[in-house]
Amino acid sequence: MTKKQLRVGLIGYGFMGRTHANAYTSVGHFFESGHAPELTAVCARDGARAKAFAEQWGIKSVETDWRKIVARDDIDLIDIASPNDTHEEIAIAAAQAGKMVVCEKPLGRNATESRAMVDAVEKAGVANMVWYNYRRVPAVTLAKQLIDEGRLGRIFHYRAKFLQDWTIAADLPQGGEGLWRLDKDVAGSGVTGDLLAHCIDTAMWLNGAIDSVSGMTETFIKERTHTIKGGMQKVTIDDACAFLARFANGSLATFEATRYARGHKALYTLEINGENASIFWDLHDLHRLEFFDHKDEGRTRGWRSVHVTDGDHPYMDHWWVPGLQIGYEHTFIHQVADFLKGLDEGKPAAPTFREALATDLVTDAVLKSAETGRWEKAT
Ligand SMILES: NC(=O)c1ccc[n+]([C@@H]2O[C@H](COP(=O)([O-])OP(=O)(O)OC[C@H]3O[C@@H](n4cnc5c(N)ncnc54)[C@H](O)[C@@H]3O)[C@@H](O)[C@H]2O)c1
């Protein structure tokens, strides 16, 4: 089959730059498509480091200004893997230049930015997608299949948390490389837009729209040195956030995220309780789905731990033999595979910018509720 080349301009070579570069490089070895991605250029502000990255990943060219990559005729797709304050400007410019755009989450620093990005890609009619990769963990996709098949029945409860502990030290600075997540101007918000955005995207994908929220946030360390502005500066991001939510389907939810849960590095868990069955998933054991089915025969009824590695499990027929598990990096490969499939079939790949905007509306409502002390509409 003659494949259509998809020439990618990758912006950012950090944590996500590496996961994306790996995904474009690997996808064609495991998934069939009429489109073949090629990493054509990488852009980052530090030319020497971008060049080293390009050599490591076999990328032909390097730019240090994203405007140049967006203007190039030999690029079809702009992939935004840079910090949150860059997303809006790059995405809008890329769409106006007629490029397809894929963007890291959260889409914007707030829903106003995200809405402008949605308008730009829809006006330009270009393919677009946001990297909410946890949807593509096979066990989470299996949960979606079971819910859509009605195996849980009416859903009563949704419970999610995402716990880390890397900002407890009071002498950790804010701002700059590796620490931009602590700087509100760059990140938009703290754990709400960073960690809870993932939980919210998965939750709405599995259980439908969130109608209203009531949240609380805290900033435990009030001042930190700022690596760019210099001196001690006020910390204005939320270090921790917990919120209650009502879904449009009538179910109740609790969400919690923090970077102050000593001992936890990336504990993302979700639990869903339905009339007939319950589901539990834990990122630390990402290849397992815990499933309780009340219809099971009484004496042996209990929680089953499904090892999601068999050929009839989502995505797994593309990988090894049954029983051998895959990991975190594969979720990004699956996301590229689904994007390419969308291009083959002329269909959007989820979540589109518009679908990801819904998450930013929820995070905005949570932060507003934390200020007003009232329930806020999330749509
Ligand atoms: N999907 C996920 O699970 C996930 C995980 C981590 C981060 N993210 C998101 O990915 C994005 C990047 O996060 P990260 O952890 O990779 O950050 P990082 O700090 O590791 O890397 C950021 C990269 O962006 C580059 N950069 C910064 N400003 C730039 C500019 N103006 N022009 C060009 N390049 C620029 C930096 O040089 C660096 O290469 C953020 O939006 C973040 O929220 C998503």
pLDDT at residue 1 tops 90: no
State the pLDDT at residue 152: 98
Q: Which residues lie with the beta carbon below 6 Å from any ligand 1 atom? A: 11-17, 43-45, 66, 81-84, 86, 104-105, 131, 133, 178, 194
Cβ neighbours of 5 (radius 10 Å): 12
Rounded to the nearest angstrom, the distance between the alpha carbon of 323 and the centre of ligand 1 is: 34
State the pLDDT at residue 326: 98
**Mean pLDDT computed over 37-43:** 98
Average pLDDT over the chain, rounded to whole? 98
pLDDT in tens, 84-96: 999 999 999 999 9
Domain ranges of the chain: 4-133, 135-377
Ligand 1 atom nearest to CA at 133? 1
pLDDT in tens, 340-359: 999 999 999 999 999 999 99
pLDDT in tens, 273-289: 999 999 999 999 999 99
State the pLDDT at residue 11: 98
Rounded to the nearest angstrom, the distance between the alpha carbon of 375 and the centre of ligand 1 is: 32
Rounded to the nearest angstrom, the distance between the alpha carbon of 334 and the centre of ligand 1 is: 20
pLDDT in tens, 300-329: 999 999 999 999 999 999 999 999 999 999
Q: What is the b/e burial string over 337-373, where b = at least 16 CB atoms within 10 angstroms of the residue's CB?
A: bbbbbbbeeeebbbbbbbbbbbbbbbbbbbbebbeee
Rounded to the nearest angstrom, the distance between the alpha carbon of 6 and the centre of ligand 1 is: 22
**Kind and range of the H or E run holding 338:** helix 329-345
Q: Which of the four pLDDT bands, split at 50, 70 and 90, describes residue 216?
A: very high
State the pLDDT at residue 355: 98
User: In testing the pocket of ligand 1, which one of 18, 56, 82, 86 has its CB within 8 Å of the most ligand atoms?
Assistant: 82
What whole-number distance in Å separates Cα of residue 248 and Cα of residue 379?
10
Cβ neighbours of 273 (radius 10 Å): 17
DSSP assignment of 101-148 equals: EEEPSSSSSSHHHHHHHHHHHHHHT--EEE--GGGGSHHHHHHHHHHH
Rounded to the nearest angstrom, the distance between the alpha carbon of 264 and the centre of ligand 1 is: 22
pLDDT at residue 2 tops 90: no
State the pLDDT at residue 73: 97
Rounded to the nearest angstrom, the distance between the alpha carbon of 270 and the centre of ligand 1 is: 25
User: In testing the pocket of ligand 1, which one of 10, 11, 13, 15 has its CB within 8 Å of the most ligand atoms?
Assistant: 15
Ligand 1 atom nearest to CA at 132? 1
State the pLDDT at residue 203: 98
Closest CA to 155 of 210, 198, 199: 210
Write the residue with the smallest CA distance to atom 20 of ligand 1.
14
pLDDT in tens, 155-184: 999 999 999 999 999 999 999 999 999 999
Write the residue with the smallest CA distance to atom 19 of ligand 1.
178
Q: Is domain 135-377 annotated with CATH 1.10.3210.10?
A: no
pLDDT in tens, 95-154: 999 999 999 999 999 999 999 999 999 999 999 999 999 999 999 999 999 999 999 999
In this structure, what token pair is assigned to residue 271?
């639990």
8 A C-beta contact, residue 62 and residue 13 = no
8 A C-beta contact, residue 84 and residue 193 = yes
High-pLDDT (> 90) share of the chain, %:
99
User: In testing the pocket of ligand 1, which one of 10, 11, 13, 16 has its CB within 8 Å of the most ligand atoms?
Assistant: 16
Beta pairing partners, 253: 158, 245
Q: Is domain 4-133 annotated with CATH 3.40.50.300?
A: no
